[in-house]
Chains A and B, each alone.
Chain A
Amino acid sequence: MATRGFTGRRSTGDETGRVPPGQHLVEDFPVLSAGPTPRVKLDDWSFTLKTGPRPVKSWSWAEFNALPITKMTRDIHCVTTWSKLNTPWEGVLVDDILADAGIAAPTGFALAHSYDGYSTNVPTADLIVGKAMVALRYEGAALTPDHGGPARLLVPHLYFWKSAKWLHGLQFTERDEAGFWELRGYHMYGDPWREQRYTND
């Protein structure tokens, strides 16, 4: 059904084919979060890899920054309908974290845990083979607390709430366990190209 009198603004040129349905491009970088912004000191920061309840390995900030650093420039898509093209990140691929821990991905699913107590679930297949990283820098500078610093997950091909801010650890789970937003009406997988915004979309 066409809306009377609506013509709209379409993306053009290079952007064609890069903006998923229902999304629009922004130049700035909107910030979204469920609560106050946690401020984690680098001295206190750690990242822990777990399988179920069992810790596999933890890294301090210095140890984590000594892992191989990869650059990744991607388009990102927020469920609140903004998309931003060519966002440049640097961080540690989940593949390199697993390699440093000396394990292969042990289960089919994972939960990302954040310093503010929030979590989000992502299938393991969407984290490995170069698809996702723990980002430490954006546009060449350290991540600000607003944007999830010191470190955030980056899973750019899924809606951006899956790219958990203020990342504290990654936990592999046997089942696909719903995270914070997924328990509050958001989709379990969150593919922007299939508009998987809300539960059962």
Chain B
Amino acid sequence: MTDAGAAALPRRWQSAKIVRIVQRTARIKSYFFDLPEPFAYQAGQHVDVRLTAPDGYRAMRSYSIASGLGGAGPLELAIERLDDGEVSPFFHDVAEVGDEIELRGPLGGHFVWSPADGGPLLLIGGGSGVVPLMSMLRELHSSGAPVPAALLLSARTWDEALFRDELIALERELGSFALAFALTREPPRRPEDYGRRADMAMVSEVMARLPALPRHVFVCGSNAFVGTAADGVVAAGVPATSVRTERYGA
């Protein structure tokens, strides 16, 4: 386990340049950053981003890392536009390629997974909560490690399922990766998907697609979603100590 002692050094702020912006869904864009001082990170970690107004006022937010090569290549953050937010509307409405944004990381030493940690690996994400889980799956893919994995991703619609096409491609490429979408406002598109909110029965069914009880479970999303999913995992027989959660907002 790579859980403890992840961050012994202070993380310095650096000015990262936006090198690419990709519209992922109607409300989510990916921002790719070149770092003057690149760092290695573990899948699941986050960075803090801070914006400074001309008068010195600052706003800071944490964003999970979506990229998964452990530090090679640009750093990807996938940012959902929250209409009443302060930082995400700036990214969506103002930020452009070439802008410099202050960030520091990697941060967080609990919600992390490395191929060396093994599996089976159960990932459950709600909305943009799939971001740190995507990093884990990309890491898994590039490592070639024979770790069985399953992802249950809840989204309102097929088109709002973040990283949908990449995940479907991963399912084809990885021998032992089961993917299920739970669409809350549309009927399911594929036989292995669902057309309802995630519930305990669904969690238990997706878990059963793994060859054995998961050794590591990561759940990320809104508070209500994480509560339901994590309770479902525990009810299905997984020890609570194997379940790590990260909750976005309220």
Q: Do the beta carbons of A32 and B247 come within 8 Å of each other?
A: yes
> Shortest beta-carbon distance, B183 to chain A, in Å?
25
Interface 1/0 per residue, B55-92 and A, CB below 8 Å: 00111111000000000000000000000001000100
**A contact residues around B145 at 8 Å (CB):** none
Q: Do the beta carbons of B51 and A6 come within 8 Å of each other?
A: yes
Q: Is B34 an interface residue (CB 8 A)?
A: no
Q: Is A106 an interface residue (CB 8 A)?
A: no
> Shortest beta-carbon distance, A149 to chain B, in Å?
14
Q: With the chains together, A5 CA to B50 CA distance in Å?
A: 13
Select which of B6, B52, B90, B109 is within 8 A of A2 by beta carbon: B52
**A contact residues around B90 at 8 Å (CB):** 3, 5-6
Interface 1/0 per residue, A145-186 and B, CB below 8 Å: 010000000000000000000000000000000001101110
Stretch with Cβ within 8 A of A (4 or more), from B19-27, B131-139, B149-157, B233-241: B233-241
Q: Which of A17-73 contact B (CB under 8 A)?
A: 21-22, 24, 26, 28-38
Q: Do the beta carbons of A36 and B59 come within 8 Å of each other?
A: no
Q: Is A200 an interface residue (CB 8 A)?
A: yes
Q: Do the beta carbons of B86 and A8 come within 8 Å of each other?
A: yes
Q: Do the beta carbons of B240 and A38 come within 8 Å of each other?
A: yes
Select which of B10, B60, B110 is within 8 A of A184 by beta carbon: B110
Q: Given A6-B90, A30-B250, A198-B10, A35–B243 Cβ distance below 8 Å?
A: yes
Q: With the chains together, A95 CA to B111 CA distance in Å?
A: 35
> Shortest beta-carbon distance, A166 to chain B, in Å?
11
Q: With the chains together, A113 CA to B241 CA distance in Å?
A: 15
Q: With the chains together, A111 CA to B76 CA distance in Å?
A: 37
From DSSP, what is the main secondary structure of chain B's interface residues? mixed
**A contact residues around B11 at 8 Å (CB):** 198
Q: Is A194 an interface residue (CB 8 A)?
A: no
Interface 1/0 per residue, A106-122 and B, CB below 8 Å: 00000000001100000
Closest to B86 in A: A9
Q: Do the beta carbons of B249 and A185 come within 8 Å of each other?
A: no
**A contact residues around B186 at 8 Å (CB):** none
Q: Do the beta carbons of A35 and B230 come within 8 Å of each other?
A: yes
Q: Is A201 an interface residue (CB 8 A)?
A: yes
Q: With the chains together, A24 CA to B58 CA distance in Å?
A: 10
Q: Do the beta carbons of A184 and B250 come within 8 Å of each other?
A: no
Q: Do the beta carbons of B7 and A3 come within 8 Å of each other?
A: no
Q: Do the beta carbons of B4 and A184 come within 8 Å of each other?
A: yes
Q: Do the beta carbons of B102 and A1 come within 8 Å of each other?
A: yes
**A contact residues around B176 at 8 Å (CB):** none
**B contact residues around A31 at 8 Å (CB):** 223, 247, 250
**A contact residues around B59 at 8 Å (CB):** 6, 8-9, 22, 24
Closest to A6 in B: B51
Q: With the chains together, A51 CA to B95 CA distance in Å?
A: 54
> Shortest beta-carbon distance, A101 to chain B, in Å?
30
**B contact residues around A38 at 8 Å (CB):** 240
**B contact residues around A1 at 8 Å (CB):** 15, 52, 100, 102
Q: Do the beta carbons of A22 and B60 come within 8 Å of each other?
A: yes
Closest to B58 in A: A22
Q: Do the beta carbons of B107 and A185 come within 8 Å of each other?
A: yes
Q: Do the beta carbons of A36 and B234 come within 8 Å of each other?
A: yes
> Shortest beta-carbon distance, A1 to chain B, in Å?
6
Task: Report which B residues bind A (CB closer than 8 A).
Answer: 3-11, 15, 48, 50-54, 57-62, 86, 90, 94-95, 99-102, 107-111, 223, 227, 230-231, 233-234, 240-241, 243-245, 247, 249-250
Task: Enumerate 26 A-B pairs (CB-CB under 8 Å) in ascending A order.
Answer: A1-B100, A3-B51, A3-B52, A3-B53, A3-B90, A3-B102, A4-B100, A5-B99, A6-B51, A8-B51, A8-B58, A9-B86, A22-B58, A24-B59, A31-B223, A34-B244, A35-B230, A35-B244, A37-B227, A80-B62, A81-B61, A117-B241, A183-B109, A184-B108, A199-B8, A201-B10
> With contacts A30-B247, A36-B234 known, what are 16 further pairs, Cβ within 8 A?
A1-B15, A1-B102, A2-B53, A3-B53, A4-B100, A8-B57, A8-B58, A31-B223, A31-B247, A34-B110, A34-B245, A35-B230, A35-B245, A116-B240, A185-B6, A200-B8
